Chains A and B, each alone.
Chain A
Amino acid sequence: MSNKMLDYFNITIVTYLAYLPIEVIGDVLRMRQILTNLISNAIKFTHEGRVGINLYVVSKPNFAKAEDIQMMTPNQSTMSVNGVKEEQHLSKPQSGNDGNLLDGCQKHDDHPSQNHAFNDECGSPAKSECSMNGDTEEQPYSAETTVWIRCDVYDTGIGIPEDAIPTLFKRYMQVSADHTRKYGGTGLGLAICKQLVELMGGQLTVSSKEHYGSTFTFILPYKVSIACDHSDDPDELSDLENNDVASDDTIESFFQYQPHTLGSLFSSNGSSRTQKLLTHKIGYTSSHKLGGFSESLYSKGTCSVDDASSVVDAPETSELASSSGHSLETKNKSLVRRDKQHQDKARAWSFNGYADSSEVTVSNGEMAGATKSSEPQQTCQGQGKANTTTQCVTSSSTSEVTKSTIKPKILLVEDNKINVMVTQSMMKQLGHSIDVVNNGVEAVRAVQRHTYDLILMDVCMPVMDGLQETKLIRTFEETGNCDAARSSGIEESLPDPDYECYVPFTKRVPIVAMTANALSESAEECFANGMDSFVSKPVTFQKLKECIEQYLVNFS
Chain B
Amino acid sequence: MRKVPMFCGPSVPKRRCLAQAPKDSCSSKCIVPCRQLKKTMDVGQMQRQWIDYTKSLFLEKGFLDGQFLQLQQLQDENNPDFVVEVVSLFFEDSERLLKDLTFALDQNGVDFKKVDAHVHQLKGSSSSIGAQRVKNACIAFRNFCEEQNTDACLRCLQQVKQEYCIVKNKLETMFRLEQQIVAAGGSIPTELSFIG
Contact = CB atoms under 8 A, between A and B. Distances in A.
Contact of B89 (A421, A428, A516, A538): A421
Nearest to A414: B124
Given A421-B89, A538-B67, A541-B73, A462 B128 contact: no
21 contacts: A415-B121, A416-B121, A416-B124, A416-B125, A417-B89, A417-B93, A418-B93, A418-B124, A418-B128, A421-B85, A421-B86, A422-B70, A422-B86, A422-B128, A422-B129, A425-B79, A425-B82, A429-B76, A516-B124, A540-B67, A541-B74
A425 B79 CA distance: 9
A539 interface: yes
A341 to B, nearest CB: 55
B153 to A, nearest CB: 19
A540 B89 contact: no
Main secondary structure of the interface of B (DSSP, over half): helix
Contacts of A538: 67, 70, 127-128, 130
Contacts of A415: 121
Greatest chain A CB density within 10 A among B67, B124, B125 is at B124
Enumerate the 3 nearest inter-chain pairs by beta-carbon distance, A residue then B residue, closest first.
A418-B125, A538-B127, A425-B74
A428 B75 CA distance: 11
Nearest to B94: A418
A221 to B, nearest CB: 63
B123 interface: yes
A537 interface: yes
Interface in B102-132: 117, 120-121, 123-125, 127-130
Contact of B128 (A429, A460, A537, A541): A537
A539 B128 contact: yes
Interface of B: 67, 70-71, 73-74, 76, 78-79, 82, 85-86, 89-90, 93, 117, 120-121, 123-125, 127-130
Interface string A410-444: 00000111110110011011000000000000000
A415 B76 CA distance: 26
A516 B67 CA distance: 14
A544 to B, nearest CB: 10
B120 A429 contact: no
B129 A418 contact: yes
A422 B121 contact: no
A426 B86 contact: no
Contacts of B74: 422, 425-426, 429, 541
B159 to A, nearest CB: 20
Contacts of B117: 462
Nearest to B135: A538
A418 B86 contact: yes
Contact of A422 (B71, B78, B93, B123): B71
B17 to A, nearest CB: 37
Greatest chain B CB density within 10 A among A421, A428, A516 is at A421
A541 B70 CA distance: 7
Contacts of A421: 85-86, 89
B85 A537 contact: no
A554 B43 CA distance: 46
Contacts of A419: 124-125, 128
Contacts of B127: 516, 537-538
A422 B86 CA distance: 7
Contacts of B67: 538, 540
A415 B122 CA distance: 12
B120 A460 contact: yes
Nearest to A539: B128
Nearest to B126: A418
A425 B86 CA distance: 10
A245 B130 CA distance: 70
A418 B73 contact: no
Nearest to A415: B121
Contacts of B79: 425, 428
